[in-house]
Amino acid sequence: MSLLLVPTREEEAADMIRAAAEAKRSLAISGGNTRSGFGQQVEAQGVLRSAGLSGIVAYDPAEMVLTARAGTPVSEIEEALAENGQMLAFEPMDHRAVMGTVGEPTIGGIFATNTSGPRRFVAGAARDSLLGVRYINGRGEVLRAGGRVMKNVTGLDLVKLLAGSFGTLGFLTEVTFRVLPRPQDQRTIILSGLDDGEAARAMAIAMSLSVEVSGAAHLPESVRGRFLNGNLSDGPATVLRLEGLAASVAVRAQKLVATLQSLAPISQLEAEESRVLWQEIRDVKPYADGTMKPLWRVSVAPTSGFQLVAALRLQAGIDCFYDWQGGLLWMRMESEPEGELVRHVMHQTGGGHATLVRASDDMRATENAFEPLPAAVLALQARVKQQLDPAGIFNPGKMARS
């Protein structure tokens, strides 16, 4: 078993990293370790966890900004926000059910993996809410990037670079992010019986209206029964979420229904059920199935999603559903990951990127979890990594299979 490091102070973490860099001792970086199945397997000589750096540092609801140490449990953040009627706009997914992991997800882990949920396609990803960080680079220097204000173009935006770098560029010790008022009301409009292509068209129409749809997903017949304890109406369900002041939601729902009612039978979910449904979509409930069947997360242009699926179905056994107006595919493979095939078909239908979120250890060893990059971008990325982590000690191999 490798050395486990759980610093409780930033300077302590810096010392540990400096010592590791000097000894060229690699470190697997993690927060609550609930998402570590994501990406390539890391072979490291030590484990550095942020869990000991915990607690909310500053939170003034009137400023809509919160600062917390990286190892703060997400549940603690969400509680504090809920008390003040606020939320994380990007609606981060909880990976535990789908990955079969236990433990407490951390706020640092959310940003290190740029984890977002259904509202991402209109409200931005985790990286869009992240205003500033404190982090330790591979030389063991404690540094800041960004700040605590919403508009800041002072110098290079290393905040974006660190968000979604999966602990390969630096060890986050503190994050400052924007929060938003929780909508007073919400409801979901359900169109029943559309096939994948018709659903994509219906969602595009919904997004063209000035009704501010904040969730647009298509749940084909095969997954429908897994939502709301099987209480979603029969047939494939195309679901559209509206959020805001109660009066606005009612007015916008009317407008949406009036435009879409010629396409399919329509029903509605009131606030409480709507909230549950979107949380289940966020956490990929249909594939929280207790298996390690390969699960892909594929991001493409919204109108390409169903074409990719149709083309892929001719060659592989898949089950899938769509979020982000059809541009985010959650795809469970029947047996093998078939990464090459998935990516080949994706590029033929317009491009994007496919990430293997879950697979058995054997499969992860032979599959590229992240989208392989063109040589020029890969070289650039390697140079950037070299500049932040010259000794190459942070999460070696996490983002690219060697």
- Using CB under 8 A, pick the residue from 11, 43, 83, 141 that binds another protein: 141
Q: How far is the CB of 162 from another protein (least distance, A)?
A: 9
Of the candidate residues 118, 164, 215, 220, the single one contacting another protein (CB under 8 A): 164
Asked if 324 is part of the footprint of another protein (rule: CB under 8 A), the reply reads yes
Nearest approach, Cβ of residue 33 and another protein (Å): 22
Q: Does 125 bind another protein (CB under 8 A)?
A: yes
Minimal distance, residue 12 CB to another protein, in Å: 18
Collapse the DSSP code of 23 into the 3-class scheme (helix H, G, I; strand E, B; otherwise coil) and give the result.
coil
Q: Does residue 244 bind another protein (CB under 8 A)?
A: yes
Question: Are residues 18 and 142 in contact, defined by beta-carbon separation less than 8 angstroms?
Answer: no
Orientation angle between helical segments 339-348 and 305-313, nearest 10 degrees: 130
Site for another protein in 170-189 (CB under 8 A): 180-182, 184
Single out the residue of 169, 191, 284, 318 in contact with another protein (rule: CB under 8 A): 169
Interface with another protein by CB under 8 A: which range of 22-30, 45-53, 58-66, 357-365? 58-66
Residue among 4 and 380 whose Cβ is closer to another protein: 380
Site for another protein in 257-316 (CB under 8 A): 299-304
Q: How far apart are CA 153 and CA 134, in angstroms?
A: 17
Locate 195 and state its tokens.
Answer: 């096939």
- Sorted by sequence, the CB contacts under 8 Å of residue 133 that are 6+ apart come out as 111, 144, 145, 146, 159, 162, 172, 173, 174, 175, 176
What residues from 325 to 364 belong to the interface with another protein (CB under 8 A)? 327-328, 350-353, 355
**Which DSSP helix (H) or strand (E) runs through 232?**
none
Tokens of 8: 């409780």
Contact pattern from residue 197 through residue 236 relative to another protein, giving x for each residue in contact according to CB under 8 A and a dash for the rest: ----x--x--xxxx-x------------------------
Would you list the DSSP string of 303-335?
Answer: TTHHHHHHHHHTTS-EEEEEEGGGTEEEEEESS
Residue 163: both structure tokens together? 């968000």
**164 vs 294, which CB is nearer to another protein?**
164
Q: How far is the CB of 230 from another protein (least distance, A)?
A: 31
User: What is the footprint of another protein within residues 13-52 (CB under 8 A)?
Assistant: none
Is 61 a binding residue for another protein by CB under 8 A? The answer is yes
Query: 383 to 402, contacts with another protein by CB under 8 A?
Result: 383-384, 386-388, 399
Q: What share of the chain is helix, strand, coil (3-state, %, to 5)?
A: 35, 25, 40
Nearer residue to another protein within complex by CB, 64 or 292: 64
Q: Considering the complex, state which of residue 51 and residue 168 has its C-beta at the smaller distance from another protein.
A: 168
Listed ranges 95-103, 119-127, 216-224, 331-339: which one lies at the site for another protein (CB under 8 A): 119-127
Contacts of 401 (CB under 8 A, 6+ apart): 40, 367, 368, 369
Q: Which two tokens stand for residue 275?
A: 């909230």
User: In angstroms, rounded to a whole number, what is the distance separating the alpha carbons of residues 383 and 188?
Assistant: 46
Q: How far is the CB of 77 from another protein (least distance, A)?
A: 18
Minimum gap (Å) between residue 179 Cβ and another protein: 11
Q: How far apart are CA 288 and CA 280, in angstroms?
A: 10
Q: Are 189 and 256 in contact (CB under 8 A)?
A: yes
- Between 201 and 273, name the residue whose CB sits nearer to another protein: 201
